[in-house]
């Protein structure tokens, strides 16, 4: 995700939404100012998470969300990387 997505509680809200959707994976800030996320779960839940990412946290301004299919990494929970 790119735009104003760091310093606006994006990762905290993303983790909360992932929990509501019963997803596993992670979300982290990148050095270039973007946020990277990995979401695993039922397709409908992942789609809902991606839709949420297009809006983000209340103070975020999301310019772009790039989506790629990747293999599951076997996560058992959702975490926020710091």
Structural domain that includes position 17? 2-70+76-81
H-type helices in 1-82, by residue range? Answer: 10-20, 43-55
pLDDT in tens, 57-74: 999 999 999 999 999 988
In this predicted structure, the answer to whether residue 6 has a pLDDT above a threshold of 90 is yes
Q: Are 36 and 27 in contact (CB under 8 A)?
A: yes
The number of domains in the chain is 1
CATH number at residue 46: 3.30.70.100
Which of the residues are catalytic?
11, 29
| pTM summary value | 0.92
> Given this model, what pLDDT does residue 82 score?
79
3 state SS of 12: helix
């Amino acid at each position: 995700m790119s735009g104003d997505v760091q310093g606006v509680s994006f990762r905290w809200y993303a983790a909360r939404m992932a929990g509501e959707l019963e997803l596993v994976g992670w979300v982290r800030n990148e050095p270039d100012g973007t946020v990277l996320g990995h979401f695993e779960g039922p397709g409908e839940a992942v789609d809902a998470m991606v839709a949420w990412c297009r809006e983000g946290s209340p103070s975020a301004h999301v310019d772009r969300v790039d989506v790629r299919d990747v293999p599951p990494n076997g996560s058992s929970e959702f975490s926020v990387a710091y």
